[in-house]
Chain A
């Protein structure tokens, strides 16, 4: 009898611990740290934009969902809504400037503006091309 109780207690405890681990590391697992992530591709911003602009499908298959390191001349920083967006402009379209729009991680909110008008290297998660711009999320400055 006692042995059964022991075994059941152990199974019960293992179950509780397993559920705890599952909750913490699976259900509540943290978002990927894109600041520390290794870049899949390192490419000039202009080249990236042109590839998406000229052959969207091929460029999307290669770069969408990947961590990219891009270099380019930072044109502007916009702050719509709660976002901080580093803007690289490479073309002029029907609706105005076209290029790459990088949503910065909050910790770069203060210092990204200092790079306007200079060459900068950013790393982030590419989510694709929306017919005017290539979009990058969770971006950090590498300079």
Chain B
């Protein structure tokens, strides 16, 4: 039995109806940033899968944890082994919806504010989130951006006491996706 894929799932209903405006990228960029007086830590992942259905507002992204790159090898190692347990939880996902789709014209160039709601799953823990972002429609592409805060404790990520002063309690996450229409 072949299981239904997350990305595919949200589009099934729409595809069956034979009408959709699907957008997709394999090279979304997610950055996170932690700053304390002792240390600044930043990591990047530029191979983020993301899909948007402009007709329904369904929006998802999926990111592989081990693809995050850090400046220091030691931080990357700690991140994977000690905090994110990336062997056990190899990816993080967001599955949600743009709530105010009526305020966004995905066919008309311009910058639109978006309210996005959904489930953010990190470290095997799923939390309901509600964040603000922007969608810029430009020449048939949709550039989605959002900056939000993630608290490691909410996702049962334990920071050991020895480095508790090096890692911020509020991690700033920046998501940037340049979505292109799927020709199907």
Which range contains the number of B residues in contact with the other chain? 35 or more
B73 at the interface (CB under 8 A from A): yes
Number of interface residues of A (CB under 8 A): 33
A-B CB contacts (within 8 Å), total count:
91
Cβ A27 vs Cβ B74 within 8 A: yes
Known: A32-B73, A135-B67. A101 touches B182 (CB 8 A): no
Cβ B26 vs Cβ A29 within 8 A: no
Cβ A94 vs Cβ B74 within 8 A: no
Q: Chain B contacts of A29 at CB under 8 A? A: 72-74
* Complex CA–CA separation, A29 to B72 (angstroms): 7
B119 at the interface (CB under 8 A from A): no
Interface-located stretch among B86-94, B97-105, B107-115, B134-142:
B86-94
A128 at the interface (CB under 8 A from B): yes
Nearest CB of B to A46, in Å: 18
Cβ A135 vs Cβ B73 within 8 A: no
Interface-located stretch among A4-12, A13-21, A76-84, A112-120:
A76-84
Which residues of A, 71-125, contact B by the 8 Å Cβ criterion?
A: 78, 80-83, 85, 93-96, 101, 103, 125
* Complex CA–CA separation, A142 to B134 (angstroms): 43
Nearest CB of A to B176, in Å: 10
Cβ B72 vs Cβ A128 within 8 A: no
* Complex CA–CA separation, A96 to B6 (angstroms): 16
Known: A60-B90, A64-B90, A94-B8. A101 touches B26 (CB 8 A): yes
On A, residues with C-beta under 8 Å from B are 26-32, 54, 60, 64-65, 78, 80-83, 85, 93-96, 101, 103, 125, 127-133, 135, 137
